[in-house]
Structure 1
Amino acid sequence: MRRNLLRPDDSTEADRVTYVELFFDLIFVFALTQLSRYLYENQSWEGAFESAMLVLALWWVWVYTTWVTNWLDPAKLPVRGAVLGLSLVGFVVSVSIYESFGDRGIVFALAYTVLQLGRTVFMLAAVSRHNPELRRTFTRILAWLALSSVFWIVGALLPLEYRLPLWLIALAIEYLSAGLGFRVPGLGASGIDDWNLSGPHIAERSALFVIIALGESLLVTGFAFVNQESSPAGILGMLLAFAASVAMWWLYFDHSERAGAKAIAAAADPGRIARLAYTYVHAVIIAGIVLTSVADKEVLTHPDAEMTLSTAVVLVGGPLLYVLGMLLFRLVVARELLVSYLVGVAALLVAFAVAFTLSPLQLGAVTTVVLVIVAGWETVVRVRRGTDDEKAG
């Protein structure tokens, strides 16, 4: 650990996403499928809170690891070994997440806290000799994570009725600490907005996670389709699910991903954009994708069933969260309040208002059409103005 493990400045290596980082991301494909399965089988208000908490916890693990590999160079053996070790612990998180509110609660809590604390301790050891400011920052982060770990572990050990509130407190501690600059009495706060980050690396890593989440959505849809007999309703449901995934891909990658990457690369304060747009706002985007995958499975499994409140919330909530997340993302990175996204949010709220006059298949068709219209709107406007991707945003 006497070696300087930080990424080299002013070189292509500073922004490069390495293969070991992509290997770490593979864990989350399985984790997201388990989250979708859990939410599908627990469509209640309690299940919704539990699923939301698990999505946010999983995202927080990924975000913190991405920030660490933004500073450290995964091409160097100690860092690569640490990432592989984190991958193993993350795999334990993934296989226990479905039963986290059951018999594997303590396994999930221990794996989660070991991953969070272990990664932070490794970061402290890696930067202690070479970057005093990062050392102070991660000392503060370690203090906050140690506090949240108490609630994770105690929540897993106490009777089940205490688990959700205690884990929500733990998660709130972790999310709020970043917003407070990891302020610790006697140690002060970290100037997150002034952090020297690789903006292109953060942007590319986040975009890759969106791709992983969309892939998980298609995986869930595919398994749901092959596990039932072919029917016109099933085929239409599968096509609607594919169209929704394409629309969500288009919303993010047609122009928004490029706009975000340019904004964070050119920003004088990349830490601010990384914290707001690529940490908090992206949590909303990922939650929208996960919820949409549950909606696709619901349409395939019960296309003509009577509409229930939980089904309506799932079918409309996924696309609504995604469009709202994209609206906030563009507002933060480009200071644009796009009319197309506002219209999309309004249209989805109207769809929810009339949901109980429709079947799940019909409501799924409506939400997919809204996503397709919103996705195409900005592209049409940009093409008519003669603005290409290289000049836009």
Structure 2
Amino acid sequence: MLRQNGAVNTTPKAPRLPPFGIRRNLLRPDGGERSVRVTHIELLFDLIFVFALTQLSRYLYENQSPTGALQSAVLVLALWWVWVYTTWVTNWLDPARLPVRAAVIGLALVGLIMSVSIFESFGDRGLTFAIAYVVLQIGRTVFMIAAVARHDRDLSRDFVGVLLWLAASGVFWILGGLVSIEFRIWFWLIALGIEYLSGAVGFRLPGRGSARVEDWNISGPHIAQRSALFVIIALGESFLVTGFAFVAQESSVVGVASVLLAFVNAVTLWWLYFDHAERAGAKAIARADKPGRIGSRAYTYTHAIIIAGIVLGSVADKEVLGHPDDAMKISTAIVIAGGPLLCLVGLTVFRWIVVREMLLSHIVGAALMVVTFAASAGMTPFVLFAVMTAILVATAAWETITRVRAGGDDEQAG
């Protein structure tokens, strides 16, 4: 309290704002459509990843070896991590605000540089890929800290922790781009391990504690919708890969049949995700007391498995179109069986997290896929692809019939 002319001034002091940070409040409003809406600028950012995924599929197709598989796994997990971290940031910040919109456009440009470097990331463009990746991760995080420093001190403090973890991983990304190609994978595995571990431990740092990610106040419907849109992007990429592979060869009965199977495969994956699982997840995160928990476990981590399965499936489409009648190789069998199996495993984990439900259809379907893979040595790629597609369709049909018989209709699903 202050005394002025003998009187006591009881007017409270205005809280001191930190010297760092953007004065304009860029956070999304708490209620209304703008708090959950997916904006057009976010969709523009997503378009960069359509190209990125096609380059990733191309790399995996041309490097079907244990080393190539490991390198491709690093790349798909890195791409997913860039995308999902950006989604979390635009979950808090309002893309309708011009500074946020400008930041997303800048991130899209860096993402394009990263995407064009993917195919040669374990070659001559490794340093370009690493620099673009680190600039995107750190630049976005610094902008987030500046945007919320004056308006949400706790969130700003949490993202300082995120920045420190990303800086540590960034050292290994850059070093990996500098060292010789045969050692690059090990540096990038360490970098990726740091990033995935950081989220799992809540970005904990000595003397600072954790960021309590599960307590973050996020917009659940926005996270759910953004993740669903990325699944659509991945499925769209598989259509692109299949279409380009088909038009590049002479038409044949087996080629036409392979395209039809690829289409059925993609539609069935769409059905398995969107007929029930997507709505169940969206409803669960919307009504959750701690949406950060579901956002972190079900969408940030588990969706990486689903996306990896879809990408692997697009490689299988191209492999079957190119070599339908060849003798089976172990790498070909892994590609063809691995895609749908990863998707089913990811969907099973996802449903368990959001609704504590484990479907018998998914478990049996995954088991049949494993058995089919074990017996694939005597099959051609086309036959294995046809059998895996049949198992996938049967799994989706079983799930849908079970739901309908239980009294669920199209509006009540989920």
Normalised by the length of structure 1, the TM-score is 0.99
User: Contact 1:255–1:389 at 8 Å: present in 2 too?
Assistant: no
Give CA deviations for 1:126-183 in whole Å, capped at 9, x if unaligned.
Answer: 0000001111110000000000000000111011121000000000000000000000
- Name 1:64's counterpart in structure 2: 85
> Residue 145 of structure 1 corresponds to which residue in structure 2?
166
Describe the superposition over 1:353-372 as per-residue Cα deviations: whole angstroms up to 9, x where unpaired: 11011100000000101111
Which residue of structure 2 lines up, in the alignment, with residue 346 of structure 1? 367
Q: Percent identity?
A: 66
Distance, in Å, in 2 between the alignment partners of 1:149 and 1:192 is: 22
Match of 1:9 in 2: 30
Q: Is the 8 A contact 1:121 1:142 kept in 2?
A: yes
2:385 to 364, 380, 383: 364
For the residue of structure 1 that corresponds to 2:239, the secondary structure is: helix
- In structure 2, the partner of 1:329 is 350
The residue aligned with 1:121 is: 142
Point out 4+ residue stretches in structure 1 off by more than 6 angstroms.
Answer: none
Name which of structure 1's ranges 371-380 and 228-237 shifts more when overlaid on structure 2: 371-380
1:312, 1:352 within 8 Å by CA — same for their partners in 2? yes
* Residue 175 of structure 2, aligned match among 144, 148, 154: 154
| Deviation (angstroms), 1:375 | 1.2
**Which residue does 2:412 correspond to in 1?**
391
Listed as ranges, the matches of 1:225-244 within 5 Å are 225-244=246-265
- CA–CA distance in structure 2, aligned partners of residues 378 and 45 of structure 1: 34
What SS is found at the alignment partner of 1:244? helix
Q: 2:121 and 2:358 mapped to 1: Cα distance?
A: 39
Aligned counterpart in structure 1 of residue 287 of structure 2, from 266, 269, 280: 266
Cα deviations by residue, 1:4-63 (Å, 9 ceiling, x for unpaired): 000000111100000000000000000000000000000000000000000000000000
2:406 equivalent to 1:380: no
Does structure 1 conserve the Cα–Cα contact (< 8 Å) formed by 2:38 and 2:222?
yes
8 Å CA contact 2:275, 2:413 repeated in 1: no
Establish whether residue 213 from structure 1 lines up as the match of residue 238 from structure 2: no
Deviation (angstroms), 1:201 = 0.1
CA displacement at 1:244 relative to structure 2:
0.1
Distance in 1 (CA, whole Å) between partners of 2:272 and 2:47 is 23
CA distance in 2, matches of 1:240, 1:158: 43
Q: Does 1:318 align with 2:342?
A: no
Secondary structure of 1:66's match? helix
Cα offsets for 1:195-235 (capped at 9, x unmatched): 10000000000000000000000100000000000001100
Task: State the match for 2:63 in structure 1.
Answer: 42
The gaps in structure 1 that reach 5 residues or longer are: none
2:330 is equivalent to residue 309 of structure 1: yes
State the SS of the aligned residue for 1:16: coil
**Number of equivalenced pairs:** 393
- Encode CA deviations 1:279-330: one digit per residue, 9 max, x unaligned: 1100000000000000010000000000000000101001100111011111
Question: d(CA) in 2 for partners of 1:153 and 1:193?
Answer: 31
User: What amino acid does structure 2 have at the position aligned with 1:3?
Assistant: R
Provide the residue aligned with 2:110 in structure 1. 89
Counterpart amino acid of 1:82? A
Partners in 1 of 2:71 and 2:242 — Cα distance? 22
The separation in 2 between residues aligned to 1:137 and 1:282, in whole angstroms, is 23
Matches of residues 173-252 of structure 1 in structure 2 within 5 Å? 173-252=194-273
Query: Using the alignment, how far apart are the partners of 2:207 and 2:349 within structure 1?
Result: 35
Question: 1:64: how far off?
Answer: 0.3
TM score, norm. by length of structure 2: 0.94
Give, in whole Å, the separation in 2 of the partners of 1:2 and 1:389.
47
Residue 101 of structure 2 is aligned to residue 76 of structure 1 = no
Structure 2 gaps, min length 5: 1-21
Distance (Å, rounded) in 2 between the aligned partners of 1:294 and 1:159: 28
Give 1:385 deviation, angstroms: 2.1
Q: Cα distance, 1:389 vs. partner?
A: 4.0
Contact preservation (8 Å) 1:240, 1:368: yes
